[in-house]
């Protein structure tokens, strides 16, 4: 039984990947910063099947201890906060975890067992104000927020360890991917949850900023399949995981409210102060390389994903 080590296991991606790997016959070891304080709600259905260990990506020695004790053959790094406003509020902490944390894992692999295969969760936010549309694995990085800057460091240091030390280290350049397990602070879940609350009579209005903002949104459950496929190749490389299409926040609202039999225009309130600082523009990925080399395909459409999220929120609120 191969062992996989997942940092940020209690997050959206960590939970879906845990389920996926357990289905493949892996032993899953998940890392959290504080076992006493961390809620593993997203792992509820599989909690007894996942070994949870305490580890802080600021602690190089602890990472090495875990690799020696559990002997993973694969490591997937999701440890970071991905809510962009936090990176503006705490840019130094963002750098410590999102950038230098990657280096500490790679150093631990190099020192303990260079045969371990490593996946780094890179982000479309690295492109920022993109030089070309759509973005590919070779599009220049122009990040516009501290999170994107830190992700660029993590992406490049992963490639650096691959080239200099020969590690099997891959980065998945992940465009927005959502699910019913997405945090309530993200716009997709904020909208689906509000639609459910309004339908059930808990509230009447939803404040929203830029309805015309567009993103490349896919389903998280599909994306973890692509991550695993990267580590099964004969040679390490980087891949864009995306849908290749964009949808607006307005479309998102339309689908979510229609699912509960409402018109979003009766409930959405324009809130200019919610516009993101240094808004990233025209972010849409080209997944052709992942589709060709990995044989990766999406199974859930944007429309079906939003409906799935609304239905899950309705059920939870009921």
Residue whose C-alpha is closest to residue 130's, from 121, 119, 118, 139: 139
Chain center to CA of 85: 16
Which of the four pLDDT bands, split at 50, 70 and 90, describes residue 279? low
Q: What is the pLDDT of residues 259-278, one digit of tens each?
A: 999 999 999 998 776 555 44
What span, in angstroms and rounded, lies between the C-alpha atoms of 243 and 235?
24
Instruction: Mark whether 208 and 71 lie in a shared domain.
Output: no
Q: What is the pLDDT of residues 210-267, one digit of tens each?
A: 999 999 999 999 999 999 999 999 999 999 999 999 999 999 999 999 999 999 999 9
pLDDT at position 91: 86
The residues that are catalytic are 123, 125, 147
Interacting residues of 17 by C-beta distance below 8 A, sequence separation 6+? 6, 76, 78, 224, 227, 228
Instruction: Mark whether 210 and 233 lie in a shared domain.
Output: no
- Count of the separate structural domains present in the chain: 2
Predicted TM-score (pTM) above 0.85: yes
Instruction: Mark whether 237 and 223 lie in a shared domain.
Output: yes
The rounded percent of the chain whose pLDDT value lies above 90 is: 84
Most confidently modeled range among 95-104, 160-169, 270-279 = 160-169
**294 belongs to a structural domain:** no
Q: Are 209 and 272 in contact (CB under 8 A)?
A: yes
Interacting residues of 138 by C-beta distance below 8 A, sequence separation 6+? none
Residue whose C-alpha is closest to residue 291's, from 250, 244, 245, 252: 244
Instruction: Name the more confident of 185 and 243.
Output: 243
Asked whether the predicted pLDDT for residue 83 surpasses 60, the reply is no
**291 belongs to a structural domain:** no
Is residue 234 exposed (0-12), middle (13-18) or buried (19+ Cβ within 10 Å)?
exposed
Interacting residues of 280 by C-beta distance below 8 A, sequence separation 6+? 124, 125, 127, 128, 129, 144, 145, 148
Residue whose C-alpha is closest to residue 97's, from 89, 87, 88, 107: 87
Instruction: Mark whether 203 and 145 lie in a shared domain.
Output: no
What's the CATH number where 142 sits? 3.40.50.720
**233 belongs to a structural domain:** yes
**Tokens 């459910």, located at residue:** 196
Side-chain half-sphere CA neighbours of 167 within 13 A: 30
Instruction: Mark whether 108 and 223 lie in a shared domain.
Output: yes
Structure tokens given for 281: 């523009």
The rounded percent of the chain whose pLDDT value lies above 70 is: 93
Instruction: Mark whether 274 and 229 lie in a shared domain.
Output: no
Instruction: Mark whether 207 and 157 lie in a shared domain.
Output: no
Angle, helix 249-259 to helix 187-199, in steps of 10 degrees: 30
Residue whose C-alpha is closest to residue 86's, from 100, 75, 70, 98: 98
pLDDT at position 82: 59
* Domain extent at residue 99: 3-177+218-241
What is the average per-residue pLDDT within 284-308? 98
pLDDT at position 278: 45
Instruction: Mark whether 87 and 65 lie in a shared domain.
Output: yes
């Amino acid at each position: 039984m191969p062992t996989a080590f997942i940092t940020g296991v209690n997050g959206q991606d960590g939970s879906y990947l845990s389920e996926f790997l357990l289905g493949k016959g892996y032993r899953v070891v998940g890392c959290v910063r504080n076992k006493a304080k961390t809620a593993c709600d997203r792992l509820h259905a599989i909690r007894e099947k996942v070994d949870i260990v305490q580890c802080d990506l600021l602690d190089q020695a602890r990472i090495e201890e875990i690799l020696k004790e559990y002997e993973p053959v694969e490591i997937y790094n999701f440890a970071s906060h991905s809510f962009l406003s936090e990176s503006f509020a705490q840019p130094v902490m963002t750098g410590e975890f999102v950038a230098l944390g990657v280096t500490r894992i790679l150093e631990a692999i190099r020192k303990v067992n260079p045969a371990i295969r490593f996946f780094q969760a890179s982000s479309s936010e690295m492109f920022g104000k993109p030089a070309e549309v759509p973005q590919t694995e070779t599009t220049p990085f122009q990040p516009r927020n501290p999170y994107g800057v830190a992700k660029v460091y993590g992406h490049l240091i992963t490639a650096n360890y691959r080239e200099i030390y020969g590690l099997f280290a891959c980065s998945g350049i992940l465009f927005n991917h959502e699910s019913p397990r997405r945090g309530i602070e993200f716009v997709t879940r904020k909208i689906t949850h509000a639609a459910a609350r309004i339908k059930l009579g808990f509230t009447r209005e939803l404040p929203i900023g830029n309805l015309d903002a567009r993103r490349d949104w896919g389903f998280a459950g599909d994306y973890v399949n692509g991550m695993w496929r990267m580590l099964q190749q004969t040679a390490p490389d980087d891949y864009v995981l995306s849908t290749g299409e964009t949808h607006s926040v307005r479309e998102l609202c339309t689908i979510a409210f229609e699912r509960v039999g409402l018109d979003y225009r009766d409930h959405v309130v324009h809130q200019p102060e919610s516009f993101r600082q240094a808004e990233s523009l025209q972010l849409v990925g080209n997944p052709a390389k992942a589709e060709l080399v990995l044989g990766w395909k999406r199974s859930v459409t944007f429309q079906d994903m939003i409906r799935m999220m609304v239905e899950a929120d309705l059920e939870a609120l009921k």
